Structure 1
Amino acid sequence: MALRPVMVNIKALDHSAVGRFWAQALGWSAYSPGVTTYVGPPGGLVWPDPVVLGIDVVPVPEPKAAAKNRVHLDLATTSAAHQAELVARLEALGATPADVGQGDVPWTVLADPEGNEFCVLEPRDVYRDTGPIAAVVVDCADPRAMARFWGEAIDWTLHEVTGDQASLRSAGGAGPYLEFIRTPGVKTVPDRVHLDLLPYPGDDRAAEVDRLRSLGATGLDLGQGDVPWTCLTDPEGHEFCVLALS
C-alpha cells in the first residue's frame, strides 16, 4: 500500500484571486468545482491529474503569519532569458521580491499576492521535463529521516539522499520532485502550503492513515470538525492531508 500526492494545498484569504495568480503564473487554468479554486492544466478539469500536481487554493479567515513558509514551490525555466521573462511577468501579476536570507544566488525568490514564498530557478537539466513546477520544497532538520518517512508514505521513487537534501519523484519519472532541504530554524506556525495525498481505488483510507501513524505521523486537530479527510503531520511537524476517494 502507498499513497499518491495529488495536489498542493495553499491557504488564502481570497482563494479566487490567488488561484487566478497561480493559473496565470503556470500557464494553467483555474477551476471552481466547489468552495475552493483548483489550478490545473488547461483543457478541462481532470482530477486527480495523472502527471502533474495541481494546486488547490482553500479559503481561510487568517492572513499569513510573518514567518517564512517551511514548504514552497520552485518554478522551472529553460534559459536565462526565460527566467528573466518569467520573473517580470510574475511581478506584473502581483508577485513581490522576497528576502528569506538567500544572499547572492542564481535563482529569484518571490512571494505570491498573499505572501507565500516561491522560487524561480535558473535553468537546470534535472528539471527540464517537470513542467512549470520543478519541485515542492520542504525545509527540514534531517533530510535522511524525512526521506525514510516519505519514501514509505507515498509511491514515489527516492532519487537522492544526503545529509543536506533528499528528493523523490513519481515512479513514472513525470511531474515535479518532492525535495527535503536541510534548513536552519524550526517550524513555529502552521504552513500555508501542504501536500494532499490520495489512496488508490480499492485501498482502505483508514488503514493507510494507521500505516502513516506507524511510520511516525501524528494526528492534527485544526478545528476541521467532521470532514472526509484526515489531517496529519510528518515527523518534523509539516501538515498534510489524506483525502477520501470520491
Structure 2
Amino acid sequence: MATRLANLVIAAEEPARLARFWSDLLGWQLTAKSPAEAEIQPPPDDGCDLTLVFAATSRPKTTKNRLHLDLSSTSGENQRETVSRAVSSGARPIDIGQRNVPWIVLADPEDNEFCVLEPREDYANSGAIAAIVVDAQDPARLARFWSPLTAWPIAADEPAITTLRNPTGRGPTLEFLRVNTPKHGKNRLHLDLSGDDPAETDRIQAAGARLIGTTQPNAPQVDFTDPEDNEFRLLFPS
C-alpha cells in the first residue's frame, strides 16, 4: 500500500491554546493557527515525520482516550524537568490506576492523558515523542492491520504490546497496548494517512477497515475505522 502516516489529529475545544501547550512542551514549531485548526511540526533533527493537528470540537472529553502520547527523557533529571515544564504550562498529574511505575502520567490542559517516560534505551533515537500508544483488545491483530498502511514493520510482539517502528529507526514508535475494555464513542485522537492513489480506498477496506459514510469522486479525504473501530482518515493531495 502506497500510504504513509501524516498526522496525529487531536480534537480540541481551544485548538490554538492546546497547540501552544504542546509546541512549548515538545519544542516543536507552531506552523498554522486559526479558530478551526492549529498545527505544530517537529524540527528536522527530531526524527519525527508526523504533524500534530489540533482540530476544533464542541464535544467535551468524557472518558479516557484510547490513543495517547509517551514522551521520552534522557535522564531522571530530564524527566523531572519535562514534568515540571508541563505542569507549569497547564498540565496536571492524574491517577489512571498506574500505581508504582517509573513513568509519570499527566493530563494536558484539555484532559488528554500522556506519559513522561523514564530513560529507556529503546527510545534513544525517538526525539521528543517516544511512542504513540493505542489501546487494543488484540494488539497483534491491530498491528498487522496498521503495519502495511504505514510501511512500518513490527519491531516487537509481546503478549501485552506489539510495536511498529519507522524503518529509519528514528521518531516515535506506534504501539498497540492490550486492554480489556472495548471502545465506546468517537476517539478524540486519530491518525491521518497520506496517499496519492484513489485505489487505496479499496485496498484499505480489503485489509479490514470499514468505510465511514460515502465517498465522492475526487474527494480530498476518506474516513475509515480500523478493525477495533478506531477512526482514521486517508488524505489525498489537493
Q: Which moved more, 1:169-178 or 1:132-141?
A: 169-178
Tell me whether 1:218 sits opposite 2:214 in the alignment. Answer: no
Is 1:61 matched with 2:58? yes
Shift in CA distance, 50/219, structure 1 to aligned 2, threshold 3 Å: farther
Structure 2: runs of 5 or more not aligned = none
Alignment of 1:1-246 (within 5 A): 1-32=1-32, 35-42=36-43, 51-65=48-62, 67-199=63-195, 203-204=196-197, 206-221=198-213, 228-246=220-238
- Identical-residue share of aligned pairs (%): 43
- Per the alignment, in what secondary structure is the counterpart of residue 25 of structure 1? helix
Letter in 1 for 2:199: A
Task: State the alpha-carbon separation in 1 of the partners of residues 126 and 152 from structure 2.
Answer: 14
**How far off is 1:99 after superposition?**
1.5
1:46 corresponding residue in structure 2: none
Q: Calculate the TM-score normalised by the size of structure 1.
A: 0.89
After TM superposition, the runs of 4+ consecutive aligned structure 1 residues lying more than 2 A away are 49-52
- On the 8 A contact 1:147/1:161 being kept in 2, the answer is no
* Contact 2:48–2:127 (8 Å) recurs in 1: no
Displacement of 1:157: 1.7
- Supply the RMSD in Å over aligned alpha carbons: 1.9
SS at match of 1:172: coil
TM-score by length of 2: 0.92
Q: How much does 1:196 deviate?
A: 0.7
Mapped to 2, the partners of 1:171 and 1:2 lie a distance apart of 15
| Alignment check: 8 A CA contact 1:53 1:176 kept | no
